[in-house]
Amino acid sequence: MKFRYEFNIKSLPKAINHNHKIFLIGSCFTENIGEKLKKYKFSVLENPNGILFNPVSVSEALINIIENKQYVANDLFEYNEAWHSWQHHSRFSGITVEETLEKINQSTATAHQYLKQADYLLITLGSAWIYTLTNKANNATVGTVAANNHKAPADWFERKLPDVAQVITVLVTMLNKLGSINPNIQVIFTISPVRHLREGAIENNRSKAALISAVHYLIDNLPKLYYFPAYELVIDDLRDYRFYAEDLVHPNYAATDYVWSKFVQSCMQKETIELMEIIKEINLAFQHKPFNAHSNQHTQFLATYFAKTKALTKKYANLDFDKELAYFKNLND
């Protein structure tokens, strides 16, 4: 008997390897994948505006990065004795205007340069629901979409659900601008399996349906777009609350790891996967906590992995193992 519905995933036409640069933007699920990519030594830049959920905020962030927008004081607002941007996560907020602008503009400039050279753009959309500013919000242009609410009062926002056509329009506008700065980049779309139940169960499903319909319309009609079914893997393949955290909203480690394994199988070259296994072994050695750090056995262990890591850096000069080499060498000394 079958107890799960497993399905085939279309392979990424041009598979990813360690020579590629990967730009990730979107929901918290983006950061889960980004952390795994970094762990395996891929060149990654993720969420230069912080976590973003809706397609309008994702598109606006990318357009501003493409245009290398430099934010000024009028782009910020003050709330709870700190300065914030409606287009950025609160990790960019600061006590002074200058501090906030420095963090935002530095991140934008770095992202602009990286996006021009990136081989892949991975966009993870979490929710189609948008929150627009009302006339009660500080320093607000009414109707502006807030990427983050910064824990502001509820009456500062009006909730709206764009229809599929509107989602398509904002994404097409962004993709057209993306082509002007990097015509060869391949875009990977995913829909986050995180359930936005604070919107309501029915509202969450309406939202996901709008995102899925819009993304597949684009993939059917535009080149260099690919859909990775992270949402379907959790909702239709795993399909069990065992694979969610206690909040019943976020996929747990097992689910995220399963989705990651499918991503690797469908999007990575065979040689890349083999290299990842070697990197995994070095990662485990790097994390090893010895019972006796001064034993001959541990000294030999360190020497072995120093030599193995050193040899790998000579073969793959673009991989950064500085921390690992320092660890193996210093303890060996």
> Domain with 210 in it: what CATH number?
3.40.50
In order, the DSSP letters of 258-323 are HHHHHHHHHHB-HHHHHHHHHHHHHHHHHH---S-TTSHHHHHHHHHHHHHHHHHHHH-TTS--HH
Residues 263 and 295 in one domain: no
Name the domain boundary from 212, 236, 268: 268
In this structure, is residue 259 part of a structural domain?
yes
In this structure, are 250 and 301 located in the same domain?
no
In a domain, 36, yes or no: yes
Instruction: State how many domains the chain has.
Output: 2
Q: Is the pLDDT of residue 125 over 80?
A: yes
Same domain? 252 vs 194:
yes
Containing domain of residue 298, as a range?
278-332
- pLDDT score, position 60: 98
One-letter amino acid at 25 equals: I
Read off the pTM. Answer: 0.93
Q: Could you give the 3-state DSSP secondary structure of residue 325? A: helix
Question: What's the rounded Cα separation, in Å, for the pair 248 and 133?
Answer: 29
Do residues 237 and 323 both lie within one domain? no
**Can you give the pLDDT at residue 120?**
98
- Domain final residue, candidates 268, 290, 321: 268
What distance in Å separates the CA atoms of residue 41 and residue 214, rounded to the nearest whole number? 33
* 7 found inside a domain: no
Q: Is the pLDDT of residue 320 over 90?
A: yes
Residue 331 has a pLDDT of: 56
Residue that terminates a domain, selected from 217, 238, 268: 268
d(CA 125, CA 129): 11
Terminal C-alpha separation, the chain: 57
Per-residue confidence (pLDDT) for residue 94, from 0 to 100: 97
Q: How far apart are alpha carbons 95 and 84 in whole angstroms?
A: 9
pLDDT tens digits along 197-254 = 888 999 999 999 999 999 999 999 999 999 999 999 999 999 998 999 989 899 999 9
> Is 140's pLDDT higher than 90?
no
Distance between CA atoms of residues 146 and 122, nearest Å: 22
Mean pLDDT of the chain, nearest integer: 94
